[in-house]
Amino acid sequence: MFLQDNELLTFELPSTLLPGRDILSKRILKNQKVIDLIINSLLNIPAGTYGVASSEWLDNTRSDTLYEPRLDIQKSLPPVLIEVQARVDEKFMMRLMQYAINVIERYDLKPVVLIFCVDKISSKSLSAQFTQNTNNQRYLRSFPSPVWAQQCFLVFENNDDVGSYPLETLQAISSFFCQQKATLYDHSYSEDNTIKFLYKIAKEVTVEETQYESNVRHTLDIVLTSNEKFLNRIKKSLTGVPDIKKAERLIEKGLTYNASVKRQLSDISTDSESDLEFPEKLPVRSKRPPTTPQLADEIAFVKRFKAKVGRMNWTQCLTEAHENHLLLRYSTGSSLRANFSKHVKP
């Protein structure tokens, strides 16, 4: 599982996908092998017992990552709530408690909570409430949570342990997030097998994201070039026809927009933001359908939006869904409507 290819040591992650950043952290934590490692460390339970659950809540908030048992006969096992947080302060802890309460309302069970602290705890008074774990793991602390969680752990990188091999699982994941190194070579524990494995996943994520962006640009370039040819043919065919000023203006407007988009497309870089509406994101590997809990949450979101606005606006619905990290496989309101209109009453 922890094999290192020849290119992994010096493969450089882009600035948008550094360890500890939101996108990569969530992708790492949703990897099934990482799930198994974390669950085994926390609960000493065999691999394959837990999977990813929806972390969107009825109050329109969304936590980082949530694990739940896969089978009904395992439902007595606690959900596991995970947050990757740069700076742990009182506001974050209050938000975390609300997430835990949401978990309790959904499962009727208190979760086990795990915090990866990337930077620091904000104050000495808050830090004092996190006590060192009884098993003498210096990187792991506990926070009192008798009402809202079975246990609440905080993991942080302990610089006193630098040079000690091998790292324990949670210690390795924490170190991966905290050091935020773009290459395995620059990481303090570059020889550790778990660190190598995490960089291997990060490399795969980067390749997928890069391939997607390349496919988007290529597709857009084809579409825009075709549009330009089509509009110019229409413009040429209207030459000499009386009373077509309005049509000519519309064609010119279309050509101007087309040219503007092509310029943006040629200038776009991997770490820049764009106002372009990208096509539906297709993974490099075969596309997997959404899980049942995910689909149920998506339907619930669409229904709540319809109840809020009255007359359905599918484009706005999709915009708000993307802000909540939902329905990311759709890029247009029309594609969303085609798949979800049956769930919304007219």
Mind listing the pLDDT tens digit for each residue in 136-168? 678 889 999 999 999 999 998 866 555 567 899
**The pLDDT of residue 270:** 38
**The pLDDT of residue 81:** 98
C-alpha distance from residue 164 to each of 155, 172, 192, 194, 261 (Å): 17, 11, 10, 13, 53
Whether the per-residue pLDDT at 127 is higher than 60: the answer is yes
| Residue 289 CA from chain centroid, whole number | 17
The last residue of one of the domains, among 157, 180, 203, is 180
309 belongs to a structural domain: yes
Residues 43 and 170 in one domain: yes
Indicate the helix (H) or strand (E) that contains 117: strand 112-121
106 belongs to a structural domain: yes
The last residue of one of the domains, among 267, 283, 311, is 267
Q: Give 267's pLDDT tier (boundaries 50, 70, 90).
A: low
Whether the per-residue pLDDT at 222 is higher than 90: the answer is no
**The pLDDT of residue 277:** 43
Residues 312 and 230 in one domain: no
**Number of domains comprising the chain:** 3
318 belongs to a structural domain: yes
Residues 263 and 121 in one domain: no
119 belongs to a structural domain: yes
Stronger pLDDT, 214 or 28, i.e. the higher one: 28
Residues 30 and 167 in one domain: yes
Whether the per-residue pLDDT at 337 is higher than 90: the answer is no
Residues 82 and 42 in one domain: yes
**The pLDDT of residue 65:** 95
Question: Of 345, 60, 36, nearest to 194 (Cα)?
Answer: 36
92 belongs to a structural domain: yes
Whether the per-residue pLDDT at 286 is higher than 50: the answer is no
**The pLDDT of residue 307:** 85
What is the reported pTM?
A: 0.64
Whether the per-residue pLDDT at 239 is higher than 80: the answer is no
**The pLDDT of residue 162:** 54
The chain-wide mean pLDDT, for the chain, equals 83
Residue numbers of the domain that contains 300: 292-343
Whether the per-residue pLDDT at 243 is higher than 60: the answer is yes
Amino acid identity of 169? Answer: T
Residues 235 and 174 in one domain: no
Whether the per-residue pLDDT at 276 is higher than 50: the answer is no
45 belongs to a structural domain: yes
Residues 233 and 323 in one domain: no
Q: What is the mean pLDDT of residues 192-208?
A: 90
Report the distance separating Cα 262 and Cα 285, nearest Å: 28
**The pLDDT of residue 313:** 86
103 belongs to a structural domain: yes
Residues 240 and 317 in one domain: no
Residues 158 and 48 in one domain: yes
Stronger pLDDT, 273 or 236, i.e. the higher one: 236
Stronger pLDDT, 116 or 312, i.e. the higher one: 116
Residues 150 and 259 in one domain: no
Residues 57 and 165 in one domain: yes
Residues 250 and 307 in one domain: no
Give the neighbor-by-neighbor strand order of the sheet with 112-121: 50-53, 65-69, 80-88, 112-121, 151-155, 140-142, 131-132
123 belongs to a structural domain: yes
Report the distance separating Cα 27 and Cα 29, nearest Å: 6
